[in-house]
Structure 1
């Protein structure tokens, strides 16, 4: 029992302040057929001033990604890691802040949702590294990748209190190379 409790207390929890921009359903039955269609739509909406941001906390654990109200800490959404299909970081062209793209589909959903977050405090790349390392560990049943990702950034986080990782310039470099999408990278859609 002590070991289980100790593992619970030491579970890695990281938390980032992000601005949620928009969420779109994608798929055969949706208006937008692909993630790339959603990226183009967000770019068009932003160009017309139709995007507004809602500040929230994005919390990453070994089993889920949670979105919390920044003031009350009330849970707004929660996605089990089994339902996270894709996570990407984008630096859109001339814009000042990077974007985090998160594609999730819970078992009861008929099509996935694409969530867009503006990442002003820390940037999207470290958050992407954290989420992708949590996904790798979840799929493999280990905890090695995530601990390494958090350690590389100089930010060992832990405990059930959800210590925040919120400073500029924090980098997580795992040396992992990503393959661009078959149709080109998402950054190309933004003119980066």
Structure 2
């Protein structure tokens, strides 16, 4: 047992409790949280919430720096709100520091350890600080350890969404895409283009629908990344305003959280996003004859807006130029030439050969590292059903295998003979 407990939480938002804004209590804050969430204006921020004998602290999970510290005496109210909206395990803290005009309401989503358990820990610490011979918190911590973090049982998981259809690409709410089929093969110019005349129509429809699902997930990812950039910029601007208006240098309420939110994405995250743009272009090259409302042309125009923003935010074109894999397919390159506007083509070409040359235009022996991409939520493309090969295809594959084996055998024989010659030469 220890006097310090630490929980992974997601900071949702902070409101100022102000009667003029019709914000009086936690219920008002939850109501406004729902409204903002419905408009897509809630941005979660990972952090650690640490409870000690005299304080509750918020900590940067990466640097371990202290973002905010709330002495227990400044916590006016602590409440768990369960299953009230999309965020089903909310911890609400109402805090007011000495000299602060109006209290702040901090809202956190708690997944690993449920909000009602964290509430019990904080309230135990508050009760113990007020005095009493028997300490309440040690027993609370023992209960939390035995609970596996879940009391009561979490609500049932929502039913999985049905597979996307060819008309479910929503341009207004999404901004990017990635393709698993490009990660499965490194020879990007031999990707199937739904052109096998012997393929059953059902199989072609399955492959098209699979790629549409992948494209939808890429659009979600880029939207997430762009929102992250926007929220970081908003936090930075708010932080700058506060610093300009403050007379003293003491950190004000909420500034630690703002500092964390203002951190830009890492270089690895930028590279990952650029790779997903390239996968999106490859997918659109494949799907251009198979999707509508929006069409592939619409989506290309739509993607260039966030692409330009990500390039600018990364500091210019240099980082994007360094992202060579995945290579664009011939179909994607031809499609960008035909569908892009002059301004879009100019931006695309400025990204260099890694974005404008297909595999056939590179030396045969040029090595390209694998490009395996993952989604934040762990989603993976559905497996394609197994289709038996035709007899002709089987014979062709067998012939290629035997020819390859014969070439390897001959190369091995030549290597062995040359080695023997080198061994005998010193004796001549």
Q: Same fold (TM over 0.5)?
A: yes
**Secondary structure at the residue paired with 1:126?**
helix
Question: Cα–Cα, structure 1 residues 29 and 105, in superposed 2: closer, same or farther, change >3 Å?
Answer: farther
Q: Name the CA distance, whole Å, in 2 between partners of 1:59 and 1:16.
A: 6
Hey, what does 2:73 align to over in structure 1? 82
1:91-130 aligned within 5 A: 91-93=82-84, 95=86, 97-130=88-121
> How far apart are residue 32 of structure 1 and its match?
2.1
Q: Name the CA distance, whole Å, in 1 between partners of 2:133 and 2:55.
A: 15
1:13-28 aligned within 5 A: 13-28=4-19
> How far apart are residue 143 of structure 1 and its match?
6.5
1:1-192 aligned within 5 A: 12-28=3-19, 32-93=23-84, 95=86, 97-140=88-131, 144-154=135-145, 168-171=148-151
**Secondary structure at the residue paired with 1:153?**
helix
Q: Is the 8 A contact 1:21 1:52 kept in 2?
A: yes
Aligned-residue Cα RMSD (Å) equals 2.3
Question: Cα–Cα, structure 1 residues 110 and 143, in superposed 2: closer, same or farther, change >3 Å?
Answer: farther
Question: Cα–Cα, structure 1 residues 79 and 96, in superposed 2: closer, same or farther, change >3 Å?
Answer: closer
> How far apart are residue 28 of structure 1 and its match?
3.8
Q: Looking at both structures, which has the greater relative contact order when contacts are Cα pairs under 8 Å and sequence separation is at least 6?
A: 1
**Secondary structure at the residue paired with 2:63?**
coil
TM-score by length of 1: 0.71
- Note the residue ranges of structure 2 that are not aligned, 5 or more in a row: 153-428
> How far apart are residue 34 of structure 1 and its match?
3.0
> How far apart are residue 97 of structure 1 and its match?
3.5
Aligned pairs, how many? 152
Q: Name the CA distance, whole Å, in 1 between partners of 2:31 and 2:150.
A: 29
- Note the residue ranges of structure 1 that are not aligned, 5 or more in a row: 1-9, 156-166, 173-192
Q: Name the CA distance, whole Å, in 1 between partners of 2:84 and 2:99.
A: 36
Q: Which moved more, 1:146-155 or 1:13-22?
A: 146-155
> How far apart are residue 170 of structure 1 and its match?
4.9
> How far apart are residue 131 of structure 1 and its match?
0.5
> How far apart are residue 138 of structure 1 and its match?
1.2
Q: Is the 8 A contact 1:27 1:34 kept in 2?
A: no
Q: Name the CA distance, whole Å, in 1 between partners of 2:110 and 2:71.
A: 21
Question: Cα–Cα, structure 1 residues 148 and 168, in superposed 2: closer, same or farther, change >3 Å?
Answer: closer
Q: Is the 8 A contact 2:114 2:151 kept in 1?
A: no
Q: Is the 8 A contact 1:102 1:114 kept in 2?
A: yes
> How far apart are residue 64 of structure 1 and its match?
0.4
Q: Which moved more, 1:136-145 or 1:26-35?
A: 26-35
Q: Is the 8 A contact 2:57 2:66 kept in 1?
A: yes
Of Structure 1 and Structure 2, which has the larger fraction of its residues in strand?
Answer: 1
Q: Name the CA distance, whole Å, in 2 between partners of 1:151 and 1:13.
A: 13
Q: Name the CA distance, whole Å, in 2 between partners of 1:20 and 1:75.
A: 14
Q: Name the CA distance, whole Å, in 2 between partners of 1:108 and 1:142.
A: 32
Q: Name the CA distance, whole Å, in 2 between partners of 1:136 and 1:34.
A: 22
> How far apart are residue 152 of structure 1 and its match?
2.0
Of Structure 1 and Structure 2, which has the larger fraction of its residues in helix?
Answer: 2
